[in-house]
Amino acid sequence: MHYDNIKEGRFESRPNRFIAYVTIDGRREKVHVKNTGRCRELLTENALVYLSKSNNPLRSTSYDLVAVQKSHRIINMDSQSPNKAVEEWLKAGGLFPDVKLVRPEMTYHSSRLDFYVETPEDKIFIEVKGVTLEQEDVVLFPDAPSERALKHINELIEAAGEGYKAYVLFVIQMEKVKCFTPNRKTQPEFATALLRAKQAGVKILAFDCKVTPDSMVIHEPVPVRLSLLEAVAEPLLKWYDLVKRILPWRGEPTPYRVWVSEIMLQQTRVEAVKPYYDRFMRALPDISHLAQAEEDELLKLWEGLGYYNRVRNLKKAAQIIMEEYGGVMPSEYEELLRLPGIGSYTAGAISSIACGKREPAVDGNVLRILARLEGDERDISSQSVRTQVEEKVRQAIPKQRPGDFNQALMELGATVCIPTGAPHCGECPWKGFCIAHLTDRELDYPYKAKKKPRTVEEKTVLIIRDESRAALRQRPKKGLLAGMYEFPCLEGHLSEEEVLDYLREKEGLLVLKIEALQRSKHIFTHKEWHMIGYAVKVDELAEKRKDSDLIFVERQEARERYPIPSAYHAYLQNFLS
């Protein structure tokens, strides 16, 4: 489409939606604005604007404001130009080479849709939306809430259901943009409607335009990112490339190394995991070694990381891999889920990071940052919400860099959009998109239903020593801290007299000295241990009862051989010091 008699001017002000004041050749002129939208980011003071002179001498304004210069590009802001440009394009076979009929303004049910098109095979409805809002080369629609636009989307969904082909065509009234995404901040309902439309079979397209001061022509397709996450993938990956941490498991991301690191990182900080990971890899460098490891060796390697069923499941899974997969870890997400101890997050991490599959790896970090990004007030502890977020991430994962994308999400949650305290929004690649940040509500997200309070259990821990050894006993093979070794641990907070009675009657030990130790507390997922302790000196020549399950070990053995839970850290240090 083309304009006649274009004149340059400088924008001054816009007192209402329909008129503006500009300076043309040194004189102040009232002009008609051919766009009733806000356009605040375009019509800034002294902006270079382009005006089309009217041929109607009876008009109160002699010019129409049709385009504006913004940075390096001209943006057409005439709200009538998208339909005119699309009509010319359609008739020239731009979208459908075998087009038979192009009819503007066709009534369908209670709406007038922009175009009805026929080809030899199809009957087609098209709704056109002009786009002028641009942020960092990403274009968005709408710039203000539009019930009319929402109604049109719903009508297209109905048309698709009745057998018509249906299209939403976003005409980007500028050139060389990165992608289009719906403006969730302005109208989240429209973004949701577009997703529903896509699922119903409506095609969502976007094309940029070659724009000059006196023309606008449909040019090239623009990527459509219907979810906000799709739209912000590129800045996220650029940020990750610049700031990603050097971690031992990232240098050589084989399936085994990724698997072990992700299991260790559950509920544990990265810095705390590093030495455990290095030690584990030296002792058990591959799946074969892991499958053959003795349980006591495994538990000792894991000592201090907690959640010991994790390492037991590692071994069970390794044995299955050796028996059923010939020692080669499967790469497919569904196959990985069959292995003990591997849930959706770990399966996604292995298949994407090590095998290049487009699978999501959604943990608490990812749930938190996406809740803030989208202003999502749903309960992230809900399994249905997690499932929906996983699917959203799966749709957004770039084909070329699935593993990097998942790791970038993890990195952002670990280093910038942190779980405790204020997030470091100034360092965030999403600060221009994040709804929580843009509304100053970062700490309101995510929402998580309150957990039941942990139960508190009182314990009395005994460091029973002779001249060089201390007593340990092995915990039951099932249950909390299964199979680990512990100092004798009695229920309740016992007095010295009660401890002495127990040692004499239950263990048959002769006590030479007893003294109280410091209190300690350890927090498990669903319970807390509140512990008191006693250091008990016993006669090394005295014989314990034959039915006692106590074993006496040297300091070096306690350090190197026997896996002792971190719950007893304070009391272990008393023995080792």
Active site residues: 262
C-alpha angle 74/32/59, rounded to 5°?
Answer: 135
Q: CA-CA distance, 353 to 250, in Å (whole number)?
A: 9
Strands (DSSP E) along 281-399, which ranges? none
DSSP-derived 3-state class of residue 382: coil
- Burial string for 328-337 (b: 16+ CB within 10 Å, else e) reads ebbeebeebe
C-alpha angle 357/363/369, rounded to 5°?
Answer: 105
Place of tokens 């002179």: 53
The letter for the amino acid at 391 is: E
Beta-bridge partners for 67: 50, 76
Phi (first) and psi of residue 528, to 5 degrees: -125, 140
Orientation angle between helical segments 270-283 and 295-302, nearest 10 degrees:
150
Going by C-alpha positions, the residue among 568, 19, 573 that lies closest to residue 303 is 568
Paired tokens of 242: 């610049």
Beta-bridge partners for 530: 458, 521
Give alpha helix (H) positions in 74-168: 81-91, 147-161
Yes or no: say if 409 and 366 are a contact pair by the CB < 8 Å rule: yes
C-alpha angle 27/23/38, rounded to 5°?
Answer: 145
Paired tokens of 346: 């770990």
Yes or no: say if 64 and 32 are a contact pair by the CB < 8 Å rule: yes
Residues 6+ apart with CB under 8 A from 453: none
Beta-bridge partners for 64: 32, 52
Strands (DSSP E) along 121-265, which ranges? 123-131, 133-135, 138-141, 165-172, 179-182, 203-212, 215-221
